Structure 1
């Protein structure tokens, strides 16, 4: 199913969203798969790890699997899940038994992988996204829907997740046909799609037209209705959005103008209100912000900077309404495309695309400081690291 949002459709969607916002149902819950979670099956001293890569000329061979030590940051690689082209972004189901990967190619696809408790993982199958060059995907907290963002075609897709973790046929495809492209852009470029903490709204960033779209998810049918859109300054290039755990603020990494934007968020309506762009701390050097993270307690935020090859640290202040720049540290690799915090918050891991490495840092819970942990691990084509 392919839909575009026109002016009249937008008005209808906004009115429908306003009517629903006062009595929204709670998000649907994950469906038990009946399969053991690999997270709980590992020895207490190590945890499982997945690393997405660019295959072929990118140097990767598929999804690398391994373990990490939460105490030392040491990473050990064990195997490779093959047969998936350019699995450059990964996400895990809330139950922990299935992972999902994009295939960042012209005929975009998403793939489900069953995570074995013994570390042996099995591909469950793939589905086309209906778009080109998917760069991001995420699972709705209820566990029934998978969202993906198609960068090259400027669209977002929805797929149902079956009880065994496999994917059904696409339930929706929405193209970003307006507003017009930003300066230097030939069209829309959807870069990310995530669920807001309220569970009712899904937000998609579009680098090509400097817009963040808010959709209301129909949890029964897996369709998206646009209810709001927010714009940043022309040419900013919004890439990745992350929410403060309080649910009232979000932080936007803008790739093209090298800024971070603090946004207000109204969970009742899904309205995002961007503020002014602020410094990433990278100075005059050419740098492209990649991904923002916020600690679980909402005290600190981190930004990966490609080109400057650093990690920016911010203090989160005013209950999430402000970010205060604390400084940067070298990431220990070249072109950090993606970063992730371990579930316990003790480590930050970075996937460095050009150097083909994954680096780890201890996180100081008191001041948010980052200290190198263990040695860098060689992973050709490293694009995404997913600690479980």
Structure 2
């Protein structure tokens, strides 16, 4: 009898231990991670990683590669083991494009290659859908450059295309200013937003060609708009474009490289009289909402939703939680939005209502020198 009771006791202890282990696995706190691009003031600064654990009210940022001069834009491949950034510097032959390897959990990156951007002030990077090609936009250079990515993430320069022309604002549009390049979801086209010429250029993309990009057509936006960044709708049939200088969201139809305007919505109230500088545009992971940031005196985040008739309507305009919201991003599940405020040197967390898309600012924020880009890591 005693032996039976002893064995039963062991089973109870064993079951309790296993239950504790199982509970521990289930309740491991969820952490969201982002790569953070910055403008730097000294060599101790550079690329950073931000980790956000909501259940613990924890928001931490750490440097993962110091010594890069103003890595203002940073992206990674889908697996998260290859990272690409730039040095936004102005010299001959311009800035640089740098590739790294990354291991999840490690506290640093390993540099793999560095090549010139072949244009001044590189400001934006895109990966092709198959992740074998990279393009970089050179703002002051008025050009974009293309690179092939080998199996070890080393970059080989293939082509640089320089734009020509100007537009109506002589202070800001006296020459081309390529602000972004974006591949179409099917990988057939590259769309190039040029703030200086007020054009959205469509290039055919041939991955087998020695020089893979050939101009197809150039869509003229409203003079003085200053096209900056864009995203595609989930079905690839719409382009959601932010016009920096007029603080306008424009919805464009896209059909096999051809563009036409469908809707224009101002980010400003009718009685607004301050300065503007629309910056970033994001589509929520569930595809329900468009989010746009506006700098200048506005320092705002504006949220739109699609109406029954197919057009988009304003549902909320709120503060960015700081000064100069150059960039922001959403968590993969759409529950939170993080706003990177360049001039107030901070990143602020908002909760997102999954039904309405509206934002509520939380008390969570972290200080960081001039954060200007947030890239969401999936792994």
TM-score above 0.5: yes
**Cα deviation, residue 100, structure 1:** 0.9
Corresponding residue for residue 356 of structure 2:
367
Helix, strand or coil: the match of 1:181? Answer: coil
C-alpha RMSD of matched pairs (Å):
2.0
Q: 1:297 to 1:63 in 2, by over 3 A?
A: same
Say which one has the larger Rg: 2
Q: 1:60 to 1:212 in 2, by over 3 A?
A: farther
Kindly indicate whether residue 98 of structure 2 is the aligned counterpart of residue 111 of structure 1. yes
Aligned residues: 340
**Cα deviation, residue 127, structure 1:** 0.9
Q: 1:301 to 1:200 in 2, by over 3 A?
A: same
Is the CA contact 2:351–2:362 (under 8 Å) kept in the aligned structure 1? yes
Distance 2:113 2:358 in 1: 41
Distance 1:364 1:304 in 2: 18
Distance 1:200 1:131 in 2: 25
Corresponding residue for residue 127 of structure 1:
115
Write out per-residue CA displacement over residues 194-239 of structure 1, whole angstroms, 9 at most, x where no aligned residue: 1112221110100001000111111124621111211111111111
Q: 1:375 to 1:164 in 2, by over 3 A?
A: same
Correspondence list, 1:1-388, <5 A: 45-56=30-41, 61-69=45-53, 74-106=58-90, 107-119=94-106, 120-168=108-156, 170-178=157-165, 180-184=166-170, 185-221=173-209, 223-266=212-255, 268=256, 270-275=257-262, 277-282=264-269, 283-307=272-296, 308-317=298-307, 321-388=310-377
Distance 2:58 2:151 in 1: 34
Distance 2:41 2:332 in 1: 31
Moved more, 119-128 or 232-241: 119-128
Distance 2:29 2:356 in 1: 27
Write out per-residue CA displacement over residues 231-283 of structure 1, whole angstroms, 9 at most, x where no aligned residue: 111111111111111211111111111211111111x2x11213453211453
Corresponding residue for residue 16 of structure 2:
none
Distance 1:48 1:142 in 2: 23
Is the CA contact 2:29–2:53 (under 8 Å) kept in the aligned structure 1? no
Distance 2:131 2:57 in 1: 30
Q: Tell me, which stretches of 5 or more residues in structure 2 are unaligned? A: 1-27
Write out per-residue CA displacement over residues 73-115 of structure 1, whole angstroms, 9 at most, x where no aligned residue: 7421233311321100111112221111121111121111211
Helix, strand or coil: the match of 2:287? Answer: coil
Write out per-residue CA displacement over residues 54-86 of structure 1, whole angstroms, 9 at most, x where no aligned residue: 1127x9810112312255774212333113211
Q: 1:223 to 1:374 in 2, by over 3 A?
A: farther
Q: 1:62 to 1:99 in 2, by over 3 A?
A: same
Which consecutive segments of 4 or more residues in structure 1 shift more than 6 A? none
Helix, strand or coil: the match of 2:155? Answer: coil
**Cα deviation, residue 181, structure 1:** 3.2
**Cα deviation, residue 44, structure 1:** 5.6
Corresponding residue for residue 8 of structure 1:
none
Distance 1:108 1:78 in 2: 24
Structure number with higher relative contact order (C-alpha < 8 Å, ≥ 6 residues apart): 1
Q: 1:73 to 1:290 in 2, by over 3 A?
A: farther
Q: 1:182 to 1:92 in 2, by over 3 A?
A: farther
